[in-house]
Structure 1
Amino acid sequence: MKTKYLLPILFISVMASEIMSRPLAVENFKYKKDLKITGTLSPQGVVKLTLDEEVYKHSFYGDLRVTHNGEIVPYHIQNAEEISKNIEKVKPELLFSKKNELEIYVLELPKLPEGMNYTKLSVTNSYDYETSVTLKLGDNPDNFSESKSVFLYKYGNQALNEIDLGGTKHRFVRLEAEPGSDLKFPSAFRAKQNKNLYWEKSHTVSNPELAENLCKFSFPNESQSAFQILKLEFEEGNWERQVTVRGKIDKKEWDTVFEGTISHNKADGIYAEIPLSKTISREFEIQIYDGENQTLHLTNVITVQPLEEIYFFANPDGTKDGYALYYGNPYQWLPSFDPYTYPTGDEIKNNDAKTATLLSEVENPDFSFSLLYPPMSGYLATGFFYLGVATLLFLLFSILKTKRSVLTESESK
């Protein structure tokens, strides 16, 4: 191969490898909050950081990044827990199990006392294992309306053996696990609702858009309040409907964050609760399919955001300075950290976590999108694509023009 072709190829290969290995650029994030850690911080000690409402308002949830002196710090995020006497341990009843090509378990949890929710389900196994589990929750065994995937494991003394139920009122649990998992479910936990563990915001209900078999309610959410749960109040007490909830995830794109059948009985309380598959902080809409039934009259909508905590290991030196939380990048992908690089459930419970607090929010003075990251990288790739197409068309036109000239000359001779 000629040297003039080899050098550009080597240059492109080097650039590509640098792009793939380049760490996250903090200048891509519009907002920043420094962290203040209380107490003496030991090397590799566990640190707990509670998020505030300001973070949810200006972040896009998947763009949360903890740094120490500019280096990315892996973390685990979970709903805040109230450690008090209000937590109760109960025993689930196994209604059904099947262990063929897919292991299926259906559990029934005891009836909930007023003001309590189910928070966690414990899982055990007599030997080391790892498995992916699909969790489904519902009001009865015929109708599961909530679903998510979880990863469980036991490696010697290290284990992830609890499933977060997200503060649900659903009493029926269906779990689909990989073959050979052989799971047991010795206990579930429920706790009283604590107003200090979540934020609520009421939204004005405007007239719906009516279609042949559904009605659609739109909510602008001007304050950009983040939420993971919807509470709906209707004039009607008893009903069952197919419901779809869609949220805006950027200026143009919508995403379906819930789709399923919701049942409500006035004996269960005023509100019907809908857990969403992801956190929404923008405009949203609720579609209620009536079918042949009378249209329901929605009177109140409340969005609920559980208080969340981030857990991470301190740096090897145990220094408390230099920690910061960056956010405010709608193009940032969800974090993906090696599970051994952040505290597990057992490590969180068995260690005296030091508390980190968020200081005042500031706009990142270094904010400017890099050419190597979205959206600039997308614009750059699009530009090169069209430039390449234009170059090919130009070369094709030049070749055709040359051939035509040759044909014209040969005909004239």
Structure 2
Amino acid sequence: MKFKYLLPILLFLAITTQVTSRPLAVQNFKYKKDLKISGNLSPNGVVKLMLDEDIYKHSFYGDLRLTYNGDIVPYHIQNAEEISKNTEKVKPELLFSKKDDLEIYVLELPKLPEGMNYTKLSVSSAYDYETSITLKLGDNPDQFTDSKTVFLYKYGSQTSGEIDLGNTKHRFVRLEAEPGSDLKFPSAYRAKQNKNLYYEKTHTVTDPVLAENHCQFLFPNETKSAFQILKLRIEEDNWERNVIVRGKINKKEWETVFDGTVTHNKSDGVYTEIPLSQTITSEFEIQIYDGENETLHLKEVISVQPLEEIYFFANADASKEGYALYYGNPYQWPPSFDPYSYPSGEETKNAEVNRGTLLAESENPDFSFSILYPPISGYLATGFFYLGVLALLYLLFSILKSKRSVLTESES
């Protein structure tokens, strides 16, 4: 009899064990986008894929799954940048050199045009050498702030003749090298700054709902435009206020995505940027607390979504067909890939990266929640849990009833 009532509990344990050990089922994703890859794709080549607004409307960010013929493809996601291809070569001026126990060089780079950064410094020597160099950067020769150590060498025709300056605006360079290196610095390179890419949407500002110490602005966001940043334009130049931003997460519940003090000065420019704790794709509200101060006049609200790119390795067959991106599963756990299974930062900057394009969104024809995955597995687990509790209670009640009957018979 005891084994009979333990069956629901054993079945519950078996199902929950399968849930965590089963591979991903694509039928659990409501939406799908096929990929088109341009150019000649080499085996295991790097592919870059720009996400679009459909992804932010219908995905839950952690549920993005890229597949090739149904198999999971590891990927790396990062903010999209407009990579500048315009590079200029300039000649540094040697301000100071000393070649005693430690070789010291101080260089001055030419003034930077607006919107440009220094990227590299070329190094040469008439002799073979290897040396560790301490590199310091600064705005003037009296104070160097940024510092790092690099290793350089020249073995015949093999040389590492460039130092990465890391897109800096500092014009003064100090280098400390081991004696006997006898270094020359024939050129430096500068390029236009890479720009982060965004799409923006302007929202109509209606009359606020006035309360005792704050005013509330509502924005329906009918197009469900996704955003992670809000830009506010307020008529007053100088102010400091507590601001709360809330968004509707599941059509019923409001969730706070920003709560803090915001300060704006005239020198900051026209807009004030507010970063949110998560992506919003539905209606939202802004509450500005004035306290005892005059009410601020909100004139313009712009939602901003940084564009993002996915990088992944192509298949070994160099086939461009069979790729798809699945999304639309609020119960899916975030991806976790081995860092060696997707392109590194250096590989994403390679000129030979292929570009992938997302085609039109379609509802996944195979969509249907499996009993082995949430939410159905959760419902089943909950149901079996309560059935198990009821079975145990019934078993306990039966035992107590039997004992009471035995006591009654023994007393009589």
TM-score using structure 1 length: 0.69
Q: Is residue 78 of structure 2 the alignment partner of residue 66 of structure 1?
A: no
Q: Does 1:89 pair with 2:117?
A: yes
Matches of 2:321 and 2:374 in 1, distance apart? 30
Question: Which range moved further: 36-45 or 203-212?
Answer: 203-212
Deviation, structure 1 residue 6:
12
CA pair 9-211 structure 1, distance change in 2 beyond 3 A = closer
Mapping for residues 205-220 of structure 1, pairs under 5 Å: 205-220=205-220
Contact 2:79–2:309 (CA under 8 A) maintained in structure 1: yes
Unaligned runs of 5+ in 2: 87-113, 120-137, 140-145, 152-159, 167-190
Q: Does 1:276 align with 2:304?
A: no
CA shift, 1:348, in A, is 0.8
Q: How does 1:61-140 map to 2 (within 5 A)?
A: 61-84=61-84, 85=86, 88-89=116-117
- List aligned pairs for 1:192-271, cutoff 5 A: 197-271=197-271
- How many residues are matched? 326
- What CA deviation, in whole Å up to 9, does each residue of 1:25-74 have, x standing for no partner? 11111111111111221122110011122222222222221111111111
Are the counterparts in 2 of residues 49 and 311 from structure 1 also a CA contact under 8 Å? yes
What is the rounded CA distance, in whole Å, between the counterparts of 2:406 and 2:210 in structure 1?
68
RMSD: 3.7
Distance 1:407 1:388, change over 3 A: same
CA distance in 1, matches of 2:388, 2:148: 57
Partner of 1:400: 400
Is residue 87–residue 192 contact of structure 1 (8 Å, CA) maintained in 2?
A: no
The amino acid of 2:26's aligned partner reads V
Q: What's 1:382 paired with?
A: 382
Q: Which amino acid aligns with 1:368?
A: S
Counterpart CA distance in 2 for 1:278 and 1:369 is 26
1:16-55 superposed matches below 5 A: 18-55=18-55
Q: Which amino acid aligns with 1:314?
A: A
Ranges of 4+ aligned residues in structure 1 off by more than 6 Å = 3-14
Match of 1:184 in 2: none
Contact 2:227 2:303 survives alignment (8 Å)? yes
C-alpha contact 2:12 2:385 (8 A) present in aligned 1: no
SS class of match (2:331): coil
SS at match of 1:317: coil
Q: Tell me the residue number matched to 2:320.
A: 320
Query: What residue is the counterpart of 2:368 in the other structure?
Result: 368
SS in 2 for 1:337: coil
What residue identity is the alignment partner of 1:77? I
Deviation at 1:24, TM superposition (A): 1.3
Aligned residues with identical type, % of pairs:
69
User: What is the match of residue 286 of structure 2?
Assistant: 286
Counterparts of 2:390 and 2:5, CA distance in 1: 21
Question: Do the aligned partners of residues 397 and 13 (structure 1) sit closer, same or farther apart at CA in structure 2, a change above 3 Å counting?
Answer: closer
Is this contact kept in 1: 2:43–2:317, CA < 8 A? yes
For 1:320, give the aligned amino acid: K
Residue pair 1:30, 1:327 contacting (<8 A) in 2 also: yes
The Cα shift of 1:281 comes to: 1.3
Q: Could you tell me whether the CA contact under 8 Å between 1:60 and 1:281 is conserved in 2?
A: no
Q: Secondary structure at the match of 2:410?
A: helix
Unmatched runs of 5 consecutive residues or more in structure 1: 92-108, 111-121, 128-156, 164-188
Q: Decide whether the 8 Å contact of 2:81 with 2:194 is kept in 1.
A: no
User: What is the CA-CA distance between 1:310 and the residue it aligns to?
Assistant: 0.9
Residue type at the aligned position of 1:60: F
SS at match of 2:24: coil
CA distance 1:4–1:404, change in 2 (3 Å): closer
Tell me the TM-score normalized by structure 2. Answer: 0.69
Q: Give the SS at the match of 2:346.
A: helix
Q: Give the Å deviation of 1:232.
A: 0.9
Provide the rounded CA distance (Å) in 2 between the counterparts of 1:162 and 1:16. 53
1:123 to partner: Cα distance:
9.2
2:116 alignment partner AA? E
The secondary structure found in structure 2 opposite 1:372 is coil
**CA 1:272–1:327 in 2, change beyond 3 Å: closer, same or farther?**
same
